[in-house]
Amino acid sequence: MLFAKFSIFLTLFSLFALLQEPALAIKKSYVVYLGGHSHGPDVTTADLHRVTDSHYQLLASFVGSEEKAKEAIFYSYKRHINGFAAILEEEEAAEIAKHPDVISVFLNQGKKLHTTHSWDFLMLERNGVIHPSSIWNKARFGEDTIIANLDTGVWPESESFSDKGYGPIPSKWKGICHFDDNASSRFHCNRKLIGARYFNKGFAAYAGVKLNSTFNTPRDTDGHGTHTLSTAAGNFVPGASVFGVGNGTAKGGSPRARVASYKVCWPPANGTECFDSDILKAFDMAIHDGVDVLSVSLGGDPVDYFYDGLAIGAFHAVQNGVVVIASAGNSGPVPGSVSNVAPWLITVGASTLDREFQANVKLQNGAILEGTSLSRALPSDNFYPLISAADAKAPNASAEEAILCKQGTLDSKKVKGKILVCLRGDNARVDKGEQALLAGAAGMILCNDKASGNEIIADPHVLPSTHINYTDGVVVFSFVSNTNDPRGLITTPKAVLNKKPAPFMASFSSRGPNTVNPEILKPDITAPGVNIIAAYSEAVSATQEEFDTRKTPFNTESGTSMSCPHVSGVVGLLKTLHPNWSPSAIRSAIMTTARTRDNTVNPMQDADHEKATPFAYGSGHIRPNRAMDPGLVYDLSKNDYLDFLCGLGYNQTTLGQFTGSSYKCPEKYNLLNFNNPSITVPNISKSVTVTRKLKNVGTPGTYACRVRQPPGFSVTVEPNVMSFEKIGEEKIFKVIIEGRKVTSGYKFGELIWSDGKHYVRSPVLVSHHST
């Protein structure tokens, strides 16, 4: 869905993983299944030992020695089942699976129901168990960090904001709880939800009307703000689900952090909007109140920084030590659609999880097509007649409009009692379901158009429904068109884990390049943003449509609005763990430790199965456990940002006013030398030299640099070895980029500094300037 000016978004291995030290590779537990045994009834101890030895020998051929195999294997199945369970790297498991004696290799995964599964997917826990080395344990679950959002407000009664087990509110907090005093909705903040404010004067000024008292509250009547705030820092809530699907324990990224809400978004007739003046006021108060992290899941078309209330507010927040995270936008996959491009923001794209709420399509010819849904089940398991919405068009409607299942385009006489097949398009997915229901359909199959590709979204439709991808949609439409009496059914929704490939980029996630400053790669990072379960407002229905009367304390949402608070939750943990790190150091730690491969150990894909690029995912998919110990960071001071703005052409007088202090622009400044964790050279003719500076935040060590060259370019680093003897030590290096056999368009490479323990990775993007 495209967004208007500041409308709400309805919204890990690197490419050199195989070169990393084995001890640093992420390991998981797997089962290697070899079949059954034929011991007979007189099995002896010696027989059992021989089986165990055979397992050691098999694994040793992959891990290098029998000693390592013995360390890895923690179960040997030797009586009836033949196989073993072991701790392996993903690459090792993939290679073992190719062995002729091996039937299968699969993750050792718990059989329990989940809800906010994204934290499991990001390895903060595994199957509900939190490892001692997890950043959750190390950072005490974000304890006493204060995370706030600028959004549609908060539903304070949600269990995600329960303060059970919390101590006193941190003494640094200066905020207030500005809820209305109506008896029917009176609520006071607690030790978890420590503050709430609303700002609506900018909205009222734009609307040109005097707002009534119902607007004077930070209460969330939309659901978006509650969802994003609880994703960032919601408390542990057992037994959460969406209409019984995805049952498990909900929690935010920093579940023990304190939270505050700043309501800046309001619902005019043409959709929720958030105005610059309200946003700026909220930033101003949030800085005063003492927040540590601001999550901002809203944005508008990219403009000059000084004409962007969000960019201005965020600059001041960052200069006061507040980390600001913003959503990239939901206008993808169009190139250059990314918003929130200021270099002091952490800008977040959206990608998928390895979980689906599976509701499959079964066709009478035996075909089974995977879909996703949170709607109720069909009343029977019998096959239902299928009809294409184009064939069910009303007399005065066009087939092009009817196939999208738009209002007034369907003939109920043709639809009644059948499963209606609709095409995804420019009207809301849940509205298609409503039109199908009004026409008398028994159910709906929603098929992706080509642009949406492989991205399917679980919605709580008002009738039994499922959403399938483009390829499977072609199959369904073909079956309906070429079959006499076509029939099918939709299976009951259920949560299914370990889907592959995951993550892949959501088609809606806005893409680079950065149209304001192409020298700054945006987005910075990607995080889970599809089918995310979190707390919800019970003042609104599950689908936010007037026809839907269902209320739910938890709901599923998709968008960069949902990926943004995932990063905010991780930032909360880093703030607890490293309270002295600057916002730019935290941004760098998240970016340089990200991953660009999926759970098949292949490069991340877009929704259309093509290889994704940094314009989609930035530095890659977030890895929280790696981010807590990045080794080196690309740090930035206030003057670094001001030098950057000088390079854009702002004069020092203006910048002095901007910061409220005197400042002198450098005599010369090259935007390419801004100390960003990524390197982007948009127009190189022959050669260019880029400068960067690294700060040691880890143990002393010697770092060597290696480069994956962008095709057609030569990249040289000087020096290519640097030694750091203490924390806080900084060193400068140069990157010389030369064009060789260059073709048009951006080319992608990467630069990695490593001491054998840390891997500090930066994407390198270069395009050729035609002469």
Residue 111's pLDDT is what?
23
Mean predicted lDDT score pLDDT of the chain? 88
Residue 66: how many other CB atoms lie within 10 Å: 14
Q: Give the whole-angstrom CA distance, residue 93 versus residue 109.
A: 15
Lowest-pLDDT range, 33-37, 111-115, 387-391, 588-592?
A: 111-115
pLDDT band at 128 (very low <50, low <70, confident <90, very high): confident
Evaluate if residue 21 carries a pLDDT over 60: no
Tell me if 359 sits within 8 A of 418, measured CB to CB.
Answer: no
Give all domains of the chain, ordered by start, each with its CATH number. Answer: 17-107 (3.30.70.80), 133-354+516-595 (3.40.50.200), 356-496 (3.50.30.30), 675-771 (2.60.40.2310)
Tell me if 671 sits within 8 A of 555, measured CB to CB.
Answer: no
Which is higher by pLDDT, 546 or 371?
371
Q: Give the whole-angstrom CA distance, residue 444 versus residue 435.
A: 10
Residue 78's pLDDT is what?
80
- In the block, tokens 């609303």 appear at 198
Name the strand (E) or helix (H) holding 477: helix 470-482
Question: Max alpha carbon distance in the chain (Å)?
Answer: 92
Give whole-number Cα distances, 61 to 58, 94, 423, 712, in Å. Answer: 6, 14, 51, 39
SS3 319: helix
Q: Give the whole-angstrom CA distance, residue 293 versus residue 634.
A: 20
Residue 444: both structure tokens together:
């709906």
Tell me if 300 sits within 8 A of 273, measured CB to CB.
Answer: no
Contacts of 718 (CB under 8 A, 6+ apart): 733, 734, 736
Evaluate if residue 604 carries a pLDDT over 70: yes
Residue 449's pLDDT is what?
92
Phi, psi of 762 (to 5 degrees): -125, 130
SS3 231: helix
Tell me if 11 sits within 8 A of 559, measured CB to CB.
Answer: yes
461 labelled catalytic: no
- In the block, tokens 């700026």 appear at 280
Evaluate if residue 113 carries a pLDDT over 60: no
Name the strand (E) or helix (H) holding 195: strand 193-198
Residue 501's pLDDT is what?
94
Name the residue type at position 327.
S
Q: What does the angle CA 273 – CA 275 – CA 276 come to, to the nearest 5 degrees? A: 150
Q: Give the whole-angstrom CA distance, residue 751 versus residue 759.
A: 10
Give whole-number Cα distances, 608 to 445, 453, 454, in Å. Answer: 20, 5, 6
Tell me if 403 sits within 8 A of 498, measured CB to CB.
Answer: no
Share of the chain above pLDDT 90, in %: 64
Single out the residue of 120, 586, 508, 572 nearest to residue 351, CA to CA: 508
Q: Following CA atoms 423, 428, 434, 440 in sequence, which dihedral angle do they give, to the nearest 10 degrees? A: -20
pLDDT digits (tens, 9 = 90+) for 8-20: 333 322 322 333 3
Q: From the candidates 55, 224, 461, 621, which is the catalytic residue?
A: 224
Q: Give the whole-angstrom CA distance, residue 464 versus residue 491.
A: 9
- Which string of DSSP letters, residue by residue, matches 61-107? HHHSSHHHHHHHEEEEE-SSEEEEEEEEEHHHHHHHTTSTT--EEEE
Which is higher by pLDDT, 452 or 335?
335
Provide the total of helices (H) and of strands (E) in the chain, helices listed first.
19, 38
Task: Tell me the H-state helices in 97-216.
Answer: 118-121, 135-138, 201-207
Contacts of 761 (CB under 8 A, 6+ apart): 14, 16, 592, 593, 594, 619, 620, 750, 751, 752
pLDDT band at 571 (very low <50, low <70, confident <90, very high): very high
Residues linked to residue 362 through DSSP beta bridges, in sequence order: 368, 489
Q: From the candidates 76, 561, 563, 767, which is the catalytic residue?
A: 561
Residue 323: both structure tokens together:
């980390």
Residue 429: both structure tokens together:
């997915």
Lowest-pLDDT range, 34-48, 325-339, 615-629, 666-680?
A: 34-48
Residue 3's pLDDT is what?
32
First to last CA, the chain: 39
pLDDT band at 304 (very low <50, low <70, confident <90, very high): confident
Edge to edge, what strands does the sheet with 27-36 contain?
73-77, 81-89, 27-36, 104-107
Residue 261's pLDDT is what?
97
Name the residue type at position 17.
A
Q: Give the whole-angstrom CA distance, residue 605 versus residue 506.
A: 9
292 labelled catalytic: no
Lowest-pLDDT range, 36-45, 54-63, 396-405, 541-550?
A: 36-45
Q: Is the dihedral of CA 530, 566, 526, 120 positive or negative?
A: negative
pLDDT digits (tens, 9 = 90+) for 252-291: 999 999 999 999 998 865 567 888 888 888 888 899 899 9
Q: From the candidates 120, 144, 151, 459, which is the catalytic residue?
A: 151
Q: Give the whole-angstrom CA distance, residue 719 versus residue 732.
A: 9
Single out the residue of 441, 482, 486, 449 nearest to residue 467, CA to CA: 449
Query: What is the average per-residue pLDDT within 437-455?
Result: 93
Residue 692's pLDDT is what?
98
Q: Give the whole-angstrom CA distance, residue 440 versus residue 412.
A: 6
Query: What is the average per-residue pLDDT within 633-648?
Result: 94
Residue 492: how many other CB atoms lie within 10 Å: 15
Single out the residue of 257, 271, 302 nearest to residue 149, CA to CA: 257
pTM equals: 0.82
Q: Give the whole-angstrom CA distance, residue 311 versus residue 326.
A: 10
Single out the residue of 357, 546, 511 nearest to residue 438, CA to CA: 546
Query: What is the average per-residue pLDDT within 208-235?
Result: 92
Residue 613: how many other CB atoms lie within 10 Å: 20
For residue 682, what is the DSSP state? E
For residue 184, what is the DSSP state? T
Which is higher by pLDDT, 449 or 187?
449
Lowest-pLDDT range, 31-45, 127-141, 549-563, 629-643?
A: 31-45
151 labelled catalytic: yes
Q: What does the angle CA 624 – CA 625 – CA 627 come to, to the nearest 5 degrees? A: 60
Evaluate if residue 403 carries a pLDDT over 50: yes
